[in-house]
Amino acid sequence: MSASLNEPAVRPENPRFSSGPCAKRPGWSLEALANAPLGRSHRAKIGKQCLAEAIDRTRDILKVPADYRIGIVPASDTGAVEMALWSLLGPRGVDLLAWESFGSGWVTDVLKQLKLEDTRVLEADYGQLPDLAAVDFSRDVVFTWNGTTSGVRVANGDWIPADREGLTICDATSAAFAQDLDFAKLDVVTFSWQKALGGEGAHGVLILSPRAVARLESYSPPWPMPKLFRMTKGGKLNEGIFKGETINTPSMLCVEDYIDALKWAEEIGGLEALIARADANSGAIADWVARTDWVDFLAVDPATRSNTSVCLRIVDPRVAALAPAEQAAFAKSMVSALDAAGVAYDIGAYRDAPSGLRIWCGATVETADVAALLPWLEWAFARQLATLDQAA
């Protein structure tokens, strides 16, 4: 497709395509949070009711099994993952899967902070998955369902056996509410509502299977446990955490905002509708990529391409011939131009990822806005390419 230096006539109504915090749900306003119990204790009856409502609505929308516990925890998805790693790992060997920045971060934590010795690291370059057939499920397994910084996801849970011996610990923060999580194959699921449904930052959600609870109640880690990570009392699960009695003080404004997003999700048709919206958004980009010669997906296999954090690389020969630092500068200049034009905010590749673009396509984004963005990507590319030609 040819690119033009003329600004497109149509602009996205909402230019927020950040991969976290993500766009608010369509029609959102501060008035939607008018009933938040501000200035009240989260341990008062009203506070506990709001937290319990958030948990119950999460279960309903995500179709979490009735015997799985759901807790609201501190420190976003990172806090939820760390709680699981520090509390559960140790009694078995661990297989660690990494194909992007956050998965690599969990590898670092397990190896350098917990210093577990019986570990295997199965890695893949950005754009690909590790060999899933090589995973040993007699061991605990830690992985991301959707690689937020690579745009690569597992297609489904078929590669995980139902009769596994170890626990599966899944960081699902950019998959929840947009992809079909196979809870029967997952013992720990974590996410942050600031990514999944455009909520505010600082809060995580931790979901535990009965197998994970059994591990918590039968195993005491040999290392000191910070208060924020402690999920048991006297060798038994602290059930209050999973009924709305949070470990530390949550923002009730953020909780109300999450409840508002969950109500919207229910109104539009639940999980199926959320997935359909994300698929439509990423599909619009896929159609554009198919007819555009200067751009391609970072994900190599179409079956593993994310429908939320869509990562693109610039493959035009003139750009590909540049040194890596110059390629990164080219992409950053495109991102800056789009930001200055007010048509796309925060769509640069993650700092540790290959240079390029990353466009959030989760359910809170409107497909019409994605479609309106695409000509602007053409414009930004043509603009920067003209600058490159002038410099030459």
Over residues 340-359, the pLDDT tens digits come to: 999 999 999 999 999 999 99
Contact of 146 with 175, CB cutoff 8 Å: yes
Containing H/E element for 216? helix 210-218
Does the N-terminal peptide bond of residue 222 adopt cis geometry, omega within 30 degrees of 0? no
Percent above pLDDT 90 for the chain: 97
Mean predicted confidence (pLDDT) in 289-312: 98
Residues 6+ apart with CB under 8 A from 363: 177, 178, 197, 265, 273, 274, 275, 277, 278
Closest CA to 319 of 216, 389, 232: 389
Over residues 86-133, the pLDDT tens digits come to: 999 999 999 999 999 999 999 999 999 999 999 999 999 999 999 999
Over residues 151-163, the pLDDT tens digits come to: 999 999 999 999 9
Domains of the chain: 30-265 (3.40.640.10), 271-391 (3.90.1150.10)
- The token pair at 131 is 């060999």
Residue 3: the pLDDT is 62
Residue 1: the pLDDT is 42
If you write DSSP's letter for every residue of 248-316 in order, what string do you get?
A: SPPPHHHHHHHHHHHHHHHHHTHHHHHHHHHHHHHHHHHHHHHT-TTEEES-SSGGGB-SSEEEEEE--
Backbone angles phi, psi at 189, to 5 degrees: -130, 130
CA angle 334–23–48, rounded 5-degree value? 150
pLDDT at residue 16 above 50?
yes
Mean predicted confidence (pLDDT) in 177-198: 97
